[in-house]
A and B are shown apart, each in its own frame.
Chain A
Amino acid sequence: MTAFLMTRLSSTLIGILGVLCLVFLLIHLIPGDPVEVMLGESALQADKEALRHSLGLNLPLHQQWWDYMRSLLRLDLGHSLFSGRPILDLLVERIPATLYLSLVSLTIAITLALPLGLLAATHKHQPWDLGAMGFALLGMSIPNFWLGPILILVGSLWLGWFPVSGQEGWNAVLLPALTLGTAMAAILARMVRSSLLETLGEDFLRTAQAKGLSPTRILLVHALPNSLLPILTLLGLQLGGLLGGAVITETVFAWPGLGLLMIEAIQQRDYPVVQAAVLCISLTYILVNLLTDVVYAWLDPRIQFKRP
């Protein structure tokens, strides 16, 4: 296990390094100059040069990259070019909002997807199955930028149960979480169905049946746990995506999360913030994937981490 973790961590580090280099290069190579955004066009050329110098943007790209990497090794993410605030503070402000939204969305997704998938798998090709999979298709097809305002219309304007946007009140998270959760639930429900259908044909379930166990027990205690591995893979990917910041949903609901921070930083060409946000997102993805692998082994003792 330790060897496995070490191998994974080393490949993870290489992955992060690759992501960092790529993002650093891309954000510096695309047109748009933070100094121009900060000072405006009417600023004196000398002032623009002075600011570029003080921000270190006049240095050759490789020098800037090297400085950035050295700062990272010291765990110094730098300061925002615009607000001048430490980037760590910005991330600390935004990450809890994203984490909170992600967890609630995931809860909604699982709560919807498991019963739907179970229902569809146990009533294969029957109206329940068609209904559940129809919902799944709908959930996958509806874009968040449309579903979000529709949920606001129904939940906030017609019913008056939720605030329209922002973080006002304990229930403010539910509409953005529903927007994200239903789309995730749709994909997840399909995965639960197909994975369960595969497991339901296994010999050990016939044995369980022959032993006289109740269908519910067979389904929930034997079939479902044994079909969890592919579901878990998907959940890991979805959680990674959520923690990376659901940009569209965060924009629609004015939810001050990581995705919104990154988009704003890209628009302003706030290089250090973009780099830090991408670093944060890629780390999240990698950690969630790593966690998924560990949970695999924990879930199914047959899986062992051995070199081939």
Chain B
Amino acid sequence: MIPQFLISSVRKSPRFIIIIHWPATLLILALGLVFGACSSQPDPNTIRMGVAQAPTNLDPRYATDATSARINRLLYSRLVDFEQDATPVPSLATWVQQSPTHYVFTLRDHVPEFHNGQGVTSQDIKATYESILSPHNASPHRGVLHIIDRMETPSDTEISFYLKRTDPFFPSYLVIGILPANLIANRHPFSDHPIGNGPFRFLDRPDETRVRLVRQTDGQLVEFLRIPDPTVRVLKLLAGEIQLLQNDLPPELVAYLANQPTLHLQQSRGANFAYLGFNHQDPLTGNILVRQAIAHAINREDIIRYVFQNRARQAQALFPPDHWAGPVQLTGYPYDPDRARTLLAEAGFGISHRPTLIYKTSTDPFRLRLATIIQDQLSRVGIDVVIQSHDWGTFYGDIKTGRFQMYSLAWVGVKTPDIFRYAFHSQSIPPTGANRGRFASPIADHLIEQAEVSTNRTEQRTLYHDLQVHFLETLPYIPLWFEDHICFSSTEITGYRLESDGNFDGLLQVQRNTSTTHVASIRSPAI
């Protein structure tokens, strides 16, 4: 029994009056916060694009992720660009190979100025590449450009690159945006305030989720919004809060959006190579018969038809047939479960002795779904698969250190055949290269080396064709597919063209159909 005086003290106590009304108190507090913290409404004239990941670095010397690379293409110009078939072509400068180890690049006429008004000279090119090559700067691109021995600038428009050894693909490496030399010397924070001479200039980064650029020609504002969840990206497009969405969507959402009358779908052939990788030092996956059985057991045609809804094409090699080094008319491994069972029997396995494989993949729900389909298909021919899904850091760490039997991954944005040395040469075992499966073939090594010293494009093409035929026979990877690039745009905008490599260059022409054209009156950020 609680004494009466306590009850009366409780009743009279002002603290309980506050407690009784605390929802109201909190509501008032929250409303105050609402009004205090309210953010700006989106500008109706801005063209907004949803991206899955925010750019991690807007300094092209350090950027490695796809979003940064695509946005940096808009902010900065580069010496060399690529044709549709991945042949390098002049961008800021034309080039002449004076000797196997000496290239001369000459700036083209009417090169756009940097966004701070300075003209572009060969000194800027030299300073950009010198800063990448400086070991103090820890640029991730130094490994590729390490081949440069020295640079000379005989004039403001000419720069000579002297190489340590011959490399027929050298011009393909000069695709990094050029920065002003004086700002490099002053250690300007390019990642926070990018200054290049690209078709867009940096406006601001209001928070971690948004980057705003201004088109140089007409002041059109373009905003990139990071929206991690794919469903929410789609809903934002449907609600008209963004006007563009490119890639990074699961196939079912693509199919749903394709049926929306207010959206326009563009699709182009992709070149990102999805594959199954193997540990060649493992007794099971090191056996070619087992790998061939797996290749015959996977029904890629059905996966592409039903899972990708025909928005992918089968891969037989690392490069697609429309790449200059891509093999044409290669016959891969057709779906043939009987042949798979026969091959397994030849390898010493059968109903009473089923092999068990560990298949590592990431935690991405779509990749996990693909893994379970492959698991089911392999189970039908007598291979038991245990799927291990890890967060990206753990998964990728395991792959690089060779802690796997089988895994699935994709090579993204690969354009130059130097990938063959990097991923398959016997001397490229990590940490030297990315031969993660420890594949070793003297024939492959020989073909890679021959193609690297050849200066004749036709001969190179033949050698790479032979190499990829050899890979299809020996199966260091099982080629799976090339996923298509997909872009949805709202009817509010016109003129966006989806590029074959998925870059954002279509933003150069895009227009928003509003009654008035927004011209940004905002100045470039202070330097």
Contacts and interface: CB of A to CB of B under 8 A. Distances in A.
B283 interface: no
A157 B207 contact: no
Interface of B: 1-2, 4, 6-7, 9-11, 15-16, 19-20, 22-23, 26-27, 29-30, 33-35, 37-42, 56-57, 64, 135, 138-140, 142-144, 146, 191, 207-210, 225-229, 231-232, 235-236, 238-239, 241, 391-394, 396-398, 400-401, 403, 422, 430-434
Given A43-B142, A107-B26, A172-B39, 4 more contacts: A37-B393, A47-B138, A204-B4, A224-B20
A228 B33 CA distance: 26
A222 B15 CA distance: 13
Contacts of B397: 31-33, 36
B41 A42 contact: no
B232 A42 contact: no
B431 A48 contact: yes
Given A31-B398, A203-B1, A104 B232 contact: no
A30 B394 CA distance: 7
A46 B232 contact: no
Interface string A46-71: 11101100100000000000000000
A38 B30 CA distance: 40
Interface string A204-217: 10011000000000
A45 B431 contact: yes
Contacts of A164: 232, 235-236, 239, 241
A300 to B, nearest CB: 8
A103 to B, nearest CB: 5
A241 interface: no
Looking at chain A's contact residues, the main secondary structure is: helix
Interface stretch (A4-12, A14-22, A121-129, A250-258): A250-258
Interface of A: 30-33, 36-48, 50-51, 54, 82-84, 93, 96, 100, 103-104, 106-107, 110-111, 114, 148-149, 152-153, 156-157, 160, 163-173, 202-204, 207-208, 220-222, 224-226, 228, 251-254, 256, 260, 266-269, 298-299, 301-302
A107 to B, nearest CB: 4
A51 B38 CA distance: 41
Given A107-B26, A111-B23, A254-B232, A208 B7 contact: yes
Nearest to A39: B140
A302 B1 CA distance: 14
Given A36-B400, A42-B422, A166 B235 contact: no
B359 to A, nearest CB: 17
A267 B53 CA distance: 12
Contacts of B396: 32, 36
A47 B432 CA distance: 12
Nearest to B37: A100
A114 B23 contact: yes
Contacts of B430: 41
A38 B38 CA distance: 35
B231 A170 contact: no
Contacts of B23: 107, 110-111, 114
Given A40-B64, A169-B39, A207-B7, A253 B33 contact: no
Nearest to B136: A50
The winner among B29, B139, B208, B396 for most chain A CB atoms within 10 A is B208
A107 B30 contact: yes
Contacts of B20: 220-221, 224-225
Contacts of B34: 100, 104, 170-171, 173
A167 B207 CA distance: 10
Contacts of A269: 393
B19 A100 contact: no
Contacts of A40: 64, 140, 143
B15 A299 contact: yes
9 contacts: A32-B394, A44-B142, A51-B138, A83-B57, A104-B33, A104-B34, A107-B27, A172-B39, A207-B4
B138 A168 contact: no
